[in-house]
Structure 1
Amino acid sequence: MLRIIKTTPLIILLLATLTPFKNFAQEKKKKPQTVLREVQRHKMRSRDSLLRSLNKSDTSINSLLQRVEQYTTTFNQINNSLSEGLDTAEVCQGLPPVVKRLNKIDSLTNTHKSSTLRYLFVLRDNLDRIQDKLEGWQADLEDVSTKLIQNQTELIKFFKDTTLRFVPADSALRISYFEQRRSVRQLFRSTDSVNRASLSKVNVLQDKLSIAYTKVLDETDQIDLKIKRFAIKAMAGESEYIWFAAIQVDDFKAALKSTIKLNKVLFYYFIKSETVTHYVSVLFLALIFIWIIFTRSKTLHYHENPQTILDQANFINKKPVIAALLVATAIIPYFYSHPPVVFLETLFLVSMIFSLVLVKNNFSQLSYSFLKRLFGLTIIYGISNLFIQISNIDRYVVLLLSIASFVTGLIFYKKVKQSPNDHLPYTGLALKIFIAMQFLAFLLNVTGRFSLAKIVGVTAVFNLWLLVILFFVVQIIVQALFLQFQVKKEGNSIINWLDYNILQKKFRNVLVTIASLLWLFTLLQNLNIDDWITDNVSDILGESRSVGGASFTFGGFVIFIAVIWLSSIVSKIISYFYDVSAQRVTDLSIAKKKNRTSTLLIRLGVFSIGFLLAVAASGFPLEKLTIIISAFGIGIGFGLQNIVNNLVSGLILAFEKPIQIGDIIEVDNRSGTMKEIGIRSSKILTSEGSEVIIPNGDLISRHVVNWTLSNSNRRVELIVAVMYGSDIDKVKTLLKTLLGNREDIMKTPGPSVFLNGISESAVEFRIFFWADDISTTLELKSKVLADIHQVLSNEGISLPSSKKDLYLHFPDGVPPQNLIEEAGDEKVIKKEINKNDPGQDQ
């Protein structure tokens, strides 16, 4: 008993001790894993707070290690980008030659060699190309510098990071942390050294570029000032009258030598520097050549009468290779920006030769003879145009060229007046301008204004030739387009969707406009006033003006009008293809007619988008647009009700679609087929061929009969009359059988025959039947009437006649002859009484 009493407290103590641990283990198993993570994170944050309070560290050792790893990754990325090298090789290699050329231009600008206008323009063209190249290099170096500055920002961030200076409290992790921090610091030093060296190199290059760019601007300003002074001097007179000028051979030799040397350098540099444009030009030449040759070949192989077609494309038919090369050589010079004159004249010489060949084979001998003489004069003019120094021999040569050109043009003009139809179009007008310019060049040269005389003479011959060249270019392109439409086409080819007559007219107008602009641009270039006009026009268009607190520019208005015009062109093109695709369908179902009606919505949508783009592109403040809309609202309230009513009605017609293109309608005693639904008005094509224009408001407010709104069926009514006394049931049976056996008459609803009336001479039947297509109603009605007449005739049923039968009843016992004699005697007596009675005439 005593032993039990002694052991009991021990057992109770043991149970009390074990029970809490058991319960705790059960509770631990019941907690989810997320709770355990939160507990551990909370404990870690608590320890970090304690360490921060003790100034041992600002974060956990894991955070420090992660930061070190992040810096290591960043530095490795910087090293990798720097190891690839900076994109400055082109600048390093190209800048010294550019600086050398600038020094050469500076020395030339300050010498007597720059005394001619041609030489000044050559120098300025070089400066323009150098300026463009320097601007490109500056943009490239700016990108490299920005990248290096970003790298340096990351390096400085590491250098200023104070958290890496703290020491972890854990001695076991401290050694590992110190090793990683030491390695990242070594990586930092090497990376910082390379990045600073690269940044310094780029900054030096940028400084050199800035110096060169500033020098280019200074030289350009100096040359522009010289050009301005030269223009004033040229107008006032550069030298004495021509009879006071003595011939100096040495000056001509020096000028010729320097001209050849400079043009060789310019041509070599141009060929070397414009590689991309050269490839584009060669590709354009290949495409034009393939298009013209392939179209001609396809016409010969696949067309039924190829010679008839090719006779309408005589330039391509007779000289296809020359035609293709002429188009290419005439257009390629416009691909380049400020090409050297020797390159332009080389291509121009080739174009002139091709034009001469075409003139010889297609026009009169007089035109060919004149252009052949002009060709020789143009070659001498072109050589003189290349000279960069003034010489007296050159002056005399230009004088003789002016006289020869004037006489040649005058003789040819007299012959043209005798037979104007045998030459190129507008030959007479072009010759008048040419003769006047050559006479002006002669006067300028005689009075001592040699530079102006050369400019005017060169412009006269070059632009006259350019008129001939552009004429052939337009004709060749139009002829190639014509052949393209004549060759054998696939059924789904887009060419089948186009109307060549409309396209030819529009496309020819576009080509003539472009050719006129190119001719005008070349004229300004030959007169050396293209840059001056460009600068002045840019200043006028770009200058900001203000009206009523709103600022605007003329350039914005030009952009606005241009975008609106382009959007209208695009909307017309889209609606044309959309409408043509519907017109190619033979059966106009309801869905297809609705698709054609949607053309109006497409045009409105494209035009609206174009208007918004025009407003945005022009820079017009949108908040001012509300003022304009308010002004329009006032105008609408006073005088534009009808216009707005028609516009809104057009939108209602487009969205609601009560009338579609192709519907047969009646409105205000006018009937016809709906041809077009426009924004303000619509067009109806009547059966007589006339087009009636109806405001859209009338189609909404008036009573409109639409025969084809839901279907194209039409009920036909006929009235048929037979002789009085005919068998009514037989006639009805014949008519029903006739109508029921026809396939062009609808079965549902079926035809009907009714007795319409009985007169003293005829029996009338009223016939109703349905035609499935309203457009065939008249033709079907004619055929049915012909068949009815044939059936009734075959069955012996007579039609009513307009003759009336007279039945006479004589009294019994009286012969007809006595009655006739008595009647005759009565007439004689009455006639005598009338003659004796004087009052009968009253």
Structure 2
Amino acid sequence: MLAPLHALAQDAAKTTPGAPPPLAPAVTQDAAHRVEQAYLKLGRISGAVRRGVDTEELAEELPEVEANLKTIRQNLTQYSSVINLKQVHLFQILLTDMQAQLGTWRTALATQGQQLTRMQGQLDSLGRYAITKQPDTTTALGRTTARLQRKQRRANLLIQRNQRTVTQLQTRVSDCYIQALELQDETREQLRRFNRRTLDPSNPPLWRAAAVDANRQAAAGQLVRESYTSQRRLLGYYFSENWYFGIWMVLLGAVFFAWVFRNFRVVNAATNAAKQPFRYLRPLPLAGTLVVVFSMAPFFDLNPPAAYTDLLELLLLLTLSVMLGRSWPRRQFLYWLSIVGLFFGLTFVYAANEPSPGLRWAMLLLNLIAIAVGIGFRRELQRGPRLAAFVPPVLVLFMLLNGLAVLCNLTGRLSLAKVCSSSGILGLTQIISLSAFVRLLTEAFHLQMQRSRLAGGVAAHFNFRKIEQGLRLGLSIVVCGLWLMTFTSNLNIFRPLYGVLDHLLSTPHHMGTFTFTVGNIVAFFSIVYLSVLLQRYVGYFFGETDDEFNSDPDRRGSWLVAIRLVLLAAGFLLATMASGLPLDKITIVLGALGVGVGLGLQNIINNLVSGIILIFERPFQVGDFIEVTGKTGRVKDIGIRASKLISLSGSEIIVPNGDLLSGHVINWTLSNNHIRVELGLKLGPDTDLDRAKEVISQEIQENPNTLHKVAPEILLSGINGQVYDLKVLFWINNIRQEQALKSEILAGIHRRFTQEGISLT
């Protein structure tokens, strides 16, 4: 486009009949240069307009948000008498999400509007290039200028059109944002009404209950149907905005299934894993995988739609019933089926917005049956195979809530009765499912242990029983916390409790010039506890074992103690940083305490420093056979303050590190495990000593556990009357087999002497 501009001066110099006189060459060249600059600037503006204003996606999604706001307003105004608490919570969550999205759109549209205003100013500034309003089209310069003007007008129209689009979208987005704020206020007001309605006796006592008007009941049922019909759009919007929850659920199920299925296949190839004590796991863990997925699904979102939670609960009950049917004793499983039946029965009778007296009596009967089932189930758990320790307390809570629901139903507080009864049955089914979830994970870990033992290596030396106990304890704490969150959400007290807890932990307290919070203190002690727990178990990940009867334990360096010290120091540092305490003040306090610690805890500090010296000096290692202060044993552990020895009789000897560093330590296995053994023999007077020595030497040399490169020494130590006293000295490979080898060689010498006719006295 700009190529002909370099020849405009020459073309303009040519005259035609009737044309005005030609411009001076310098003037023409200057005009061509200005036109060229204008073309470049206009091209940049046009490209920026096309690239910068992209509102198609926003324009497509905004109508859906407007329709959702209309649906929420319709439910809060027209159907306010039939919506329940979970639906109002759903409205609140959706409004919060829509407010965040609308806020993002407002910011984007404001930025685009500013860009268009800036581009418009740049377009208006092209007038400084002195483009004539009516260029002479008979010349090349004039024709180029005319094309430039047309392009400028098109760019101007494009900017104006985009400005109108952005302005219209800004108006609609602002209107939706204001509607969302108003509806948030309305949902908060609805929640306050629900709280007041729950505690107030909104219905007459059960013995005075009157029949519900059929027309009124039909009208209420019609409102319920219309409300659910209008909420289908909201459910679709919820699932479209939270689709990644499904991805996480599928990924969790796939990982668990592949993990268990592969481990079963490997273990079954070597042993028979089916005979192992797996209560819930199967070689094809379909039911177990579904239980794991459906047990964890509610915790991906604590405020899902009621239809979504009902569907998850239904799927969980079905898959859990399949798994428990082949795992629990018959009587326990019958109680479980009774609990499932109560769940469906209570769900059905609570579906009525204005229940008739008959349904209220049915609620009362179901609550009484629930109490009876809870009592029987608790007794059965005491007799038969027990569940996790956290199930019986929830079972007692289930009975108490059903008893409270009976009282509320009798006194007319029907809303509170529904809350108590539904929370009780949901809490019980969820805690049983979480108990199965913990058992499934521990069994899967046990299966992984078996595979690790088959694979050998460091994992084969793990103390899996202790690790499994820690895993079960940790999982139990986690699932109890998760259950408590969902249980309080069902009771509609999660938010108040969370607010109280947040206020308790985050409120600053002042002590002089020092400011702290309870949350900082909790974080400090929690991190210190975790670091202590981690250093206690870290040895198991480096091959440490508690098997005291291993004949040849691995020798591990004292660097394991260094790792423990590093973990403790790092944990204390992280705890200090998390507590918010200034490091300079801590240094001053530690310096002040150092004098008192040095004076009052001299022995402890001495042992601690001695332990650190032992780490780097390494006079012995874990697994060495040492003798100190008259005590002999194998080193089990080198601790920070003291070390542990295992004596030959199996007792554990705790020796302070200060004694190990300052006392005389005999290390029998510092460089090797060899030890010289001494045997005493008494031979008769008619014994051929040379032949006897040859037989003894052969027996020692043929034993594979003796040191063959050093010949045994057989010495005549004395002649006592008619008896020859022989002293036999030889080396063995392993000090831990000293007594067993002495017995074995003595038995072999006696057998050979008997064959040779040599008598022992």
Instruction: For 2:120 and 2:544, locate their aligned partners in 1 and report how far apart those are by CA, in whole Å.
Output: 67
Tell me, yes or no, if the aligned pair for 1:757 and 1:764 is still in contact at 8 Å: yes
Residue equivalent to 2:80: 114
Residues 94-103 or 334-343, more deviating: 94-103
Is 2:503 the partner of 1:536?
Answer: no
Residue equivalent to 1:24: none
Other structure's SS at 1:313 match? coil
Is 2:238 the partner of 1:270?
Answer: yes
Which aligned pairs between 1:70-85 and structure 2 lie closer than 5 A? 83-85=50-52
Instruction: For 2:197 and 2:474, locate their aligned partners in 1 and report how far apart those are by CA, in whole Å.
Output: 41
Is 2:506 the partner of 1:506?
Answer: no
Is 2:662 the partner of 1:697?
Answer: no
Which aligned pairs between 1:569-718 and structure 2 lie closer than 5 A? 570-572=534-536, 574-580=538-544, 593-595=555-557, 597-718=558-679
Other structure's SS at 2:80 match? helix
Residue equivalent to 1:405: 367
Instruction: For 1:785 and 1:631, locate their aligned partners in 2 and report how far apart those are by CA, in whole Å.
Output: 66
Which aligned pairs between 1:470-489 and structure 2 lie closer than 5 A? 470-486=434-450
Q: Unpaired runs of 5+ in structure 1?
A: 1-68, 166-182, 801-842
Tell me, yes or no, if the aligned pair for 1:751 and 1:767 is still in contact at 8 Å: yes
Other structure's SS at 1:593 match? coil
Structure 1 position 710, deviation (Å) = 2.3
Structure 1 position 148, deviation (Å) = 9.6
Other structure's SS at 2:313 match? helix
Is 2:222 the partner of 1:254?
Answer: yes
Tell me, yes or no, if the aligned pair for 1:717 and 1:768 is still in contact at 8 Å: yes
| Residues 134-186 of structure 1, C-alpha deviations (whole Å, 9 max, x = no match) | 435645875897899899999999999xxx99xxxxxxxxxxxxxxxxx9999
Amino acid corresponding to residue 563 of structure 2 in structure 1 = I
Tell me, yes or no, if the aligned pair for 1:149 and 1:199 is still in contact at 8 Å: no
Tell me, yes or no, if the aligned pair for 1:665 and 1:705 is still in contact at 8 Å: yes
Is 2:267 the partner of 1:313?
Answer: no
Amino acid corresponding to residue 391 of structure 1 in structure 2 = E
Amino acid corresponding to residue 643 of structure 2 in structure 1 = S
Instruction: For 2:480 and 2:331, locate their aligned partners in 1 and report how far apart those are by CA, in whole Å.
Output: 26
Which aligned pairs between 1:423-438 and structure 2 lie closer than 5 A? 425=387, 432-438=396-402
| Residues 680-722 of structure 1, C-alpha deviations (whole Å, 9 max, x = no match) | 2221111111222222222222222111122222222344444
Label 1:246 to 1:675 Cα distance change in 2 as closer, same or farther (>3 A): same
Amino acid corresponding to residue 419 of structure 2 in structure 1 = I
Residue number among 481, 503, 512 corresponding to 1:517 in the alignment: 481
| Residues 669-690 of structure 1, C-alpha deviations (whole Å, 9 max, x = no match) | 2111001112222211111112
Label 1:556 to 1:290 Cα distance change in 2 as closer, same or farther (>3 A): same
Residue equivalent to 1:391: 354
Instruction: For 2:556 and 2:45, locate their aligned partners in 1 and report how far apart those are by CA, in whole Å.
Output: 63
Q: Unpaired runs of 5+ in structure 2?
A: 1-35, 130-146
Which aligned pairs between 1:811-822 and structure 2 lie closer than 5 A? none
Residues 80-89 or 254-263, more deviating: 80-89
Is 2:255 the partner of 1:287?
Answer: yes
Which aligned pairs between 1:194-343 and structure 2 lie closer than 5 A? 216-217=180-181, 219-242=183-206, 243-249=208-214, 250-251=216-217, 252-293=220-261, 302-305=269-272, 307-309=274-276, 312-317=277-282, 320-343=285-308
| Residues 515-551 of structure 1, C-alpha deviations (whole Å, 9 max, x = no match) | 3223222211210111222222222222222223122
Instruction: For 2:599 and 2:170, locate their aligned partners in 1 and report how far apart those are by CA, in whole Å.
Output: 65
Instruction: For 1:153 and 1:777, locate their aligned partners in 2 and report how far apart those are by CA, in whole Å.
Output: 94
Instruction: For 2:160 and 2:534, locate their aligned partners in 1 and report how far apart those are by CA, in whole Å.
Output: 55
- Structure having the higher Rg: 1
Tell me, yes or no, if the aligned pair for 2:598 and 2:605 is still in contact at 8 Å: no
Structure 1 position 237, deviation (Å) = 2.9
Instruction: For 1:582 and 1:372, locate their aligned partners in 2 and report how far apart those are by CA, in whole Å.
Output: 44
Instruction: For 1:187 and 1:580, locate their aligned partners in 2 and report how far apart those are by CA, in whole Å.
Output: 80
Residue number among 412, 425, 428 corresponding to 1:464 in the alignment: 428
Is 2:317 the partner of 1:356?
Answer: no
Tell me, yes or no, if the aligned pair for 2:317 and 2:340 is still in contact at 8 Å: yes
Residue equivalent to 1:746: 707
Which aligned pairs between 1:146-225 and structure 2 lie closer than 5 A? 216-217=180-181, 219-225=183-189
Amino acid corresponding to residue 541 of structure 2 in structure 1 = F
Label 1:330 to 1:794 Cα distance change in 2 as closer, same or farther (>3 A): closer
Instruction: For 1:191 and 1:459, locate their aligned partners in 2 and report how far apart those are by CA, in whole Å.
Output: 64
Label 1:412 to 1:755 Cα distance change in 2 as closer, same or farther (>3 A): closer
Label 1:399 to 1:563 Cα distance change in 2 as closer, same or farther (>3 A): farther
Is 2:523 the partner of 1:559?
Answer: yes
Label 1:192 to 1:484 Cα distance change in 2 as closer, same or farther (>3 A): farther
Structure 1 position 302, deviation (Å) = 2.2
Instruction: For 1:444 and 1:771, locate their aligned partners in 2 and report how far apart those are by CA, in whole Å.
Output: 83
Q: Percent identity?
A: 27
Other structure's SS at 2:407 match? helix
Residues 756-765 or 633-642, more deviating: 756-765
Instruction: For 1:768 and 1:132, locate their aligned partners in 2 and report how far apart those are by CA, in whole Å.
Output: 86
Tell me, yes or no, if the aligned pair for 2:408 and 2:417 is still in contact at 8 Å: yes
Residue number among 81, 93, 96 corresponding to 2:60 in the alignment: 93
Label 1:694 to 1:245 Cα distance change in 2 as closer, same or farther (>3 A): farther
Residue number among 90, 97, 104 corresponding to 1:132 in the alignment: 97
| Residues 768-821 of structure 1, C-alpha deviations (whole Å, 9 max, x = no match) | 333332223223333444455566667776656xxxxxxxxxxxxxxxxxxxxx
Residues 598-607 or 358-367, more deviating: 358-367
Amino acid corresponding to residue 403 of structure 1 in structure 2 = L
Structure 1 position 343, deviation (Å) = 0.8
Tell me, yes or no, if the aligned pair for 2:683 and 2:724 is still in contact at 8 Å: yes
Amino acid corresponding to residue 308 of structure 1 in structure 2 = K
Tell me, yes or no, if the aligned pair for 1:293 and 1:320 is still in contact at 8 Å: yes
Structure 1 position 658, deviation (Å) = 1.4
Amino acid corresponding to residue 434 of structure 1 in structure 2 = F
Label 1:397 to 1:623 Cα distance change in 2 as closer, same or farther (>3 A): farther
Other structure's SS at 1:346 match? helix
Tell me, yes or no, if the aligned pair for 1:381 and 1:398 is still in contact at 8 Å: no
Cα root mean square deviation, aligned: 4.8
Tell me, yes or no, if the aligned pair for 1:259 and 1:386 is still in contact at 8 Å: no
Label 1:747 to 1:353 Cα distance change in 2 as closer, same or farther (>3 A): closer
